[in-house]
């Protein structure tokens, strides 16, 4: 940077070390975990398993990237899991009913737009805090999902072109991984390299200051919530393709895991701030833990406990020095 | 009987608020306490009222040393403190507020009837001529009645000394007279009063003796009838070396065409019939707390609470409202309380700088930014304002007050290229050290010299004296007559802020 540099560069070395610890400790833990599994778990470091991890975290990453926009604007979306579920049954339902694939996909996107817009308007126009508005929206979607399916899975008659999105490979790489890469790149670019991203961060950083700076706060808060839902329906569409069926209750776990990726991501790069790359690392983090513990043959319930403890440790390191302001 | 303070010292981190202050307050007098903002008045009465523990020194009553570590300790010694800001609990009735914490109980349950009766008895005991509906929630009462309720609450129990901090600041003249009578009557009933007020006429009219503080030091204690207002002002003010290093400016430019003017402006309790800001001039707005000078300055940009009025920018009528519209018309706003209203502490310097005009680094449609251009423009602002940081990526919350304020100002220079014809500043140097202050003054003067009209609303009278070309004093929501640069003095400002028209 070309700037006059005087006082802060002379900060004591331990201050810089602490900053470095803040920024990269989670990343170091991730790398150590990766190395550990590679050394001690036979089947971990194989092309098959690594692509498998990508496939496993792809959908989570897409949900997390969307949530990152919400957190950047300091809005949370607790309905995200049910929005995943909504698309995961709407698109298969339409396909089974004979709707052409492009139309069905568009319908899924439209559903995401509507959910996000309703969330956004409830928050910005009616003035309900997003925590509460989206909690209620989640409950509504949960009901809708079960009503629409009668609680049963939708399968059979799904076109191969659709299933390919979730199960196929191109040059040996899962198609899902391409979707994941696209969502991370687009998300990163929008957040870091556009005026839109600047304004979303400004609104989340200090809403009052953004408003007095002439930022259309209402628009950017709404837009952030719409983006969360749109990423969620993309994830839900791909999830059903991967599973080969539309199931009303598979989206739910993406709420907690999705939030976890964002929280882990907030411990790195710019501590306290949700970033797309941070969230991606958070998803990798969760993917590696799940995969490694699976290969060891650890019981899934114990896996959840281990995952929870690791998340707490990662966040604790950062929280000691930075306030993680979530909402 | 009297309360005696001996050699009180109060140190706060980085500053000494009281420096060996000795004074005494009788139970049979109204004792005025005056001094500028920051002179130590509040610290002194907070120690007296038990809210602060002094670093050194003693408080004694009737010759016996006492230690008051909490307001409750002070109350037990017979000292009550009615603070400046309303301390009533909204939602509770007047009676409930009077007896807050001492509600009469029957079998452990608060008895509403006893409560009402006791509160009414207290009110009648002290102020037989005052009628207040004590069964109404306090927010329904008018402001003078609320003040009386606060005073009655202070007087419950065995009180010998009552501290009143700016009791009439928010009152109209009729209500003021009523409260004056009440204050005057207290010494005759065995309750001494320590009275803090910015209104020197009030201090002189009510007090038996007056104590003057300046910069944490006891300057004088004198009988009220021996002191003229002029003499009191002389005692309050720093008379030597006050302008040192601030770059005093006395030349008056030839103001250009009007850049911003309002007629019949009514916003949030402030009324300004006619105000015009011209190119190249710096207009200072001053007033006591709540007088409306800050509110007026803010309302010009935000239009919050706007009831009526016409605004012109240049010669064009402005009908659209709010920050975005004002920006379009070339009006910028650097607010007070920068971490609340101007900056994102978690964000980097460049993120904050680019909050108003990120589009200056746009290279492609769709708002796609060039990181290189952002850095270039950021570096330009760094150099221009002399922001000291490790780099543009440093988080704003880690900067010093002066550098934060420079970023807050820099937001309006980044990518703006002189588009702001008028800039409004509220408390432009609060919490800023003297060096940075001088730099910020330099930038404000430069903006004016380049043709912008500047409004500075500040509670720092020295700042106004050194920066402004003319001053508009505000009293109780009304703009007073201009004070021209030739007439500038702190004494003149203080008189104008108190609504005294000394020509």
For residue range A273-282, list pLDDT tens digits in order: 889 999 999 9
pLDDT, tens digit (0-9, with 9 covering 90-100), for A216-258:
999 999 999 999 999 999 999 999 999 888 888 888 889 988 9
Q: Does the pLDDT at position A18 exceed 70?
A: no
Q: Which stretches of A76-121 are DSSP H helices?
A: 80-96, 101-121
The confidence score (pLDDT) of residue A321 equals 58
Average pLDDT, integer, range B401-416? 90
* Position A56 in a domain: yes
Provide the shortest C-alpha distance from residue A114 to chain B (in Å): 23
* Position A325 in a domain: no
* Dihedral angle computed from the Cα positions of residues A213, A219, A224 and A230, in that order, rounded to the nearest 10 degrees: -160
pLDDT band at residue A12 using 50, 70 and 90 as cut-offs: very low
The confidence score (pLDDT) of residue A9 equals 36
Alpha-carbon distance of B47 to B70, in angstroms, equals 9
Sequence-separated (6 or more) residues with CB below 8 Å from residue B359: A195, B367, B415
What is the percent of chain B where pLDDT is above 90?
Answer: 31
Location of structure tokens 């020095």: A321
The confidence score (pLDDT) of residue B240 equals 40
pLDDT, tens digit (0-9, with 9 covering 90-100), for B60-77:
988 888 888 888 888 888
Residue from A3, A203, A273 to probe the interface with B (highest B Cβ count within 10 Å): A3
Q: Which two tokens stand for residue B475?
A: 């009293």
Alpha-carbon distance of A103 to A116, in angstroms, equals 20
Look at A307 and B244; give whichever has higher pLDDT.
Answer: A307
pLDDT, tens digit (0-9, with 9 covering 90-100), for B410-425:
999 998 888 899 999 9
The confidence score (pLDDT) of residue B425 equals 95
State phi, psi for A323 to the nearest 5 degrees. Answer: -80, 120
Provide the shortest C-alpha distance from residue A110 to chain B (in Å): 22
Q: How far is Cα of residue B440 from the mean position of the Cα atoms in its chain? A: 21
Q: Does the pLDDT at position A13 exceed 50?
A: no
Contact B149, B141 (CB under 8 A): yes
In chain B, what are the helix, strand and coil shares in percent, each to the nearest 5?
35, 25, 40
pLDDT, tens digit (0-9, with 9 covering 90-100), for B415-453:
888 889 999 999 998 877 777 888 899 999 999 988 899
Contact B142, B60 (CB under 8 A): no
Return residues 260-299 of A near B (CB < 8 Å): 270, 272-273
Contact B121, B103 (CB under 8 A): no
pLDDT band at residue B272 using 50, 70 and 90 as cut-offs: very high
* Record: contact A196-B367, CB cut-off 8 A: yes
- Average the pLDDT over each of A142-146, A181-185, B496-500 and give the range with the smallest value: B496-500
CA nearest B352: which of B385, B392, B325? B392
* Position A96 in a domain: yes
The confidence score (pLDDT) of residue B252 equals 57
Alpha-carbon distance of A250 to A241, in angstroms, equals 12
pLDDT band at residue B501 using 50, 70 and 90 as cut-offs: low
In this prediction the ipTM stands at 0.81
Question: Given CB atoms, is A313 within the 8 Å cutoff of chain B?
Answer: no
Q: Give the one of A198, A210, A273 whose C-beta lies nearest to B346's C-beta.
A: A273
Alpha-carbon distance of B230 to B235, in angstroms, equals 9
Q: Give the one of B341, B382, B389 whose C-beta lies nearest to A8's C-beta.
A: B389
Out of 3.90.105.10, 3.40.718.10, 3.40.50.300, 3.30.70.1340, select the CATH number for domain B2-243: 3.40.50.300
* Position A108 in a domain: yes
Provide the shortest C-alpha distance from residue A23 to chain B (in Å): 13
The confidence score (pLDDT) of residue A119 equals 95
- DSSP conformation class of B395: B
Contact B136, B94 (CB under 8 A): yes
pLDDT, tens digit (0-9, with 9 covering 90-100), for B274-296:
999 999 899 999 988 778 899 99
Contact A225, A130 (CB under 8 A): yes
pLDDT, tens digit (0-9, with 9 covering 90-100), for A53-64:
888 899 999 999
What does each C-alpha distance from B469 to A240, B199, B273, B429, B438 come to in angstroms?
71, 25, 21, 18, 17
Rg (CA), chain A: 20
Out of 3.90.1150.10, 3.90.1560.10, 3.40.50.300, 3.40.50.720, select the CATH number for domain B256-330+420-503: 3.40.50.300
What does each C-alpha distance from B4 to B65, B71, B338, B372 come to in angstroms?
9, 18, 41, 66
Q: Does the pLDDT at position A78 exceed 90?
A: yes
Location of structure tokens 């539309």: A246
Q: Does the pLDDT at position B145 exceed 70?
A: yes
Neighbour tally for B297: CB within 10 Å: 25
Q: Is the pTM of this model over 0.95?
A: no
CATH number of the domain within which A167 lies: 1.10.3470
Average pLDDT, integer, range B86-109? 83
pLDDT band at residue A325 using 50, 70 and 90 as cut-offs: low
* Position A238 in a domain: yes
The confidence score (pLDDT) of residue A3 equals 40
Alpha-carbon distance of B133 to B138, in angstroms, equals 9
Question: Given CB atoms, is A212 within the 8 Å cutoff of chain B?
Answer: yes
pLDDT band at residue A19 using 50, 70 and 90 as cut-offs: low
- DSSP conformation class of B348: B
* Position A184 in a domain: yes
Alpha-carbon distance of B359 to B362, in angstroms, equals 5
Q: Which two tokens stand for residue B408?
A: 């807050």
Most confident of A14-28, A118-132, B162-176: A118-132
* Record: contact B355-A5, CB cut-off 8 A: no
Q: Which stretches of chain A are DSSP H helices?
A: 13-40, 47-72, 80-96, 101-121, 130-149, 160-167, 175-193, 195-205, 207-212, 217-243, 253-265, 276-296, 300-319
Q: Does the pLDDT at position A178 exceed 90?
A: yes
* Record: contact A205-B362, CB cut-off 8 A: no
Q: Does the pLDDT at position B2 exceed 80?
A: yes
Alpha-carbon distance of A88 to A250, in angstroms, equals 8
* Dihedral angle computed from the Cα positions of residues B240, B242, B245 and B250, in that order, rounded to the nearest 10 degrees: -110
- Write down the domain spans for chain B: 2-243, 256-330+420-503, 342-419
pLDDT band at residue B43 using 50, 70 and 90 as cut-offs: confident
First to last CA, chain A: 32
* Record: contact A209-B333, CB cut-off 8 A: no
* Position A226 in a domain: yes
pLDDT band at residue A5 using 50, 70 and 90 as cut-offs: very low
Q: Does the pLDDT at position B304 exceed 50?
A: yes
B2-243 and B256-330+420-503: same fold? yes
Q: Does the pLDDT at position A8 exceed 70?
A: no
pLDDT band at residue B247 using 50, 70 and 90 as cut-offs: very low
Per the structure, the complete domain to which residue A197 belongs is given by 28-320
């Amino acid at each position: 940077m070309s700037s006059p540099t005087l006082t802060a560069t002379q900060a004591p070395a331990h201050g810089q070390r602490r900053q470095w610890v803040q920024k990269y400790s989670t990343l170091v833990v991730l790398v150590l975990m990766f190395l550990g599994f590679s050394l001690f778990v036979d089947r971990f470091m194989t092309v098959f398993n690594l692509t498998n991890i990508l496939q496993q975290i792809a959908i989570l990453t897409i949900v997390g990237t969307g949530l990152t926009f919400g957190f950047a604007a300091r809005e949370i979306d607790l309905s995200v899991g049910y929005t995943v579920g909504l698309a995961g049954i709407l698109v298969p339902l339409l396909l089974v009913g004979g709707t052409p694939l492009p139309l069905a996909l568009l319908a899924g996107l439209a559903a995401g737009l509507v959910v996000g817009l309703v969330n956004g308007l409830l928050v910005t126009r009616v003035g309900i805090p997003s925590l509460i508005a989206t909690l209620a929206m989640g409950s509504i979607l949960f009901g809708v999902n079960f009503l629409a399916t009668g609680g049963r899975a939708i399968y059979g008659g799904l076109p191969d072109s659709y299933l390919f999105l979730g199960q196929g490979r191109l040059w040996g790489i899962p198609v899902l991984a391409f979707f994941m890469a696209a969502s991370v790149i687009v998300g990163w670019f929008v957040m870091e390299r556009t005026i839109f991203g600047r304004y979303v961060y400004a609104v989340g950083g200090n809403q009052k200051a953004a408003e007095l700076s002439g930022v259309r706060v209402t628009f950017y808060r709404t837009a952030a919530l719409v983006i969360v839902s749109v990423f969620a329906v993309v994830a839900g569409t791909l999830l059903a393709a991967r599973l080969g069926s539309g199931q009303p209750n598979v989206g739910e776990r993406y709420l907690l895991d999705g939030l976890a990726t964002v929280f882990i991501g907030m411990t790195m790069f710019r501590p306290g701030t949700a970033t797309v790359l941070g969230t991606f690392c958070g998803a990798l983090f969760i993917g590696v833990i799940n995969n490694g513990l699976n290969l060891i043959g650890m019981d899934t319930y114990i896996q959840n406990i281990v995952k929870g403890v690791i998340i707490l440790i990662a966040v604790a390191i950062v929280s000691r020095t930075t306030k993680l302001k979530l909402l | 009987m009297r309360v005696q303070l001996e050699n009180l010292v109060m140190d706060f981190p980085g500053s000494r608020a009281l420096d060996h202050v000795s004074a005494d307050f009788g139970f049979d007098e109204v004792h005025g306490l005056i001094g500028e903002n920051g002179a130590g008045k509040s610290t002194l009465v907070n120690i007296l009222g038990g809210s602060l523990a002094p670093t050194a020194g003693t408080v004694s009553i009737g010759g016996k040393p006492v230690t008051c570590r909490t307001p409750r300790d002070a109350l037990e010694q017979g000292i009550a403190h009615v603070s400046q800001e309303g301390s009533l609990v909204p939602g509770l009735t007047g009676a409930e507020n009077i007896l807050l914490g001492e509600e009469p109980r029957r079998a452990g349950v608060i008895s509403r009837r006893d409560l009402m009766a006791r509160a009414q008895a207290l009110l009648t005991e002290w102020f037989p001529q005052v009628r207040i509906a004590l069964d109404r929630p306090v927010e329904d009462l008018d402001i003078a009645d609320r003040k009386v309720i606060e005073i009655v609450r202070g007087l419950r129990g065995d009180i010998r000394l009552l501290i009143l901090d700016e009791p009439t600041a928010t009152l109209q003249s009729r209500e003021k007279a009523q409260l004056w009578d009440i204050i005057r009557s207290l010494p005759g009933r065995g309750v001494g009063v320590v009275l803090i007020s910015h209104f020197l006429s009030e201090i002189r009219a009510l007090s038996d003796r007056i104590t003057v503080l300046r910069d944490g030091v006891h300057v004088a204690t004198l009988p009220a009838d021996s002191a003229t207002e002029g003499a009191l002002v002389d005692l309050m003010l720093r008379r030597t070396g006050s302008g040192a290093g601030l770059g005093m400016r006395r030349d008056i430019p030839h103001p250009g065409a009007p850049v911003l003017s309002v007629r019949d402006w009514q916003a949030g309790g402030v009324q300004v019939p006619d105000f015009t800001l011209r190119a190249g001039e710096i207009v200072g707005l001053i007033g006591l707390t709540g007088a409306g000078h800050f509110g007026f300055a803010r309302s010009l940009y935000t239009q919050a609470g706007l009831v009526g009025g016409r605004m012109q920018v240049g010669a064009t009528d402005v009908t659209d409202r709010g920050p975005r519209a004002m920006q379009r018309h070339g009006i910028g706003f650097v607010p007070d309380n920068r971490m609340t209203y101007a900056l994102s502490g978690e964000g980097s310097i460049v993120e904050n700088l680019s909050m108003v005009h990120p589009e200056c680094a746009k290279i492609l449609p769709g708002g796609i930014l060039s990181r290189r251009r952002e850095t270039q423009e950021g570096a330009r602002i760094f150099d221009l304002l002399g922001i000291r940081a490790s780099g543009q990526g440093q988080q704003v919350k880690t900067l010093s007050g002066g550098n934060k304020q420079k970023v807050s100002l820099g937001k309006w220079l980044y990518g703006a290229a002189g588009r702001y014809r008028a800039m409004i500043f509220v408390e432009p140097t609060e919490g800023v050290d003297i060096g940075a202050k001088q730099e910020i003054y330099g930038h404000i003067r430069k903006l004016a010299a380049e043709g912008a009209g500047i409004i500075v609303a500040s509670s720092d009278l020295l700042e106004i004296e050194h920066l402004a070309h003319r001053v508009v004093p505000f009293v109780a929501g009304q703009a007073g007559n201009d004070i021209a640069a030739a007439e500038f003095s702190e004494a003149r400002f203080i008189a104008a802020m108190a609504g005294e028209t000394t020509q």
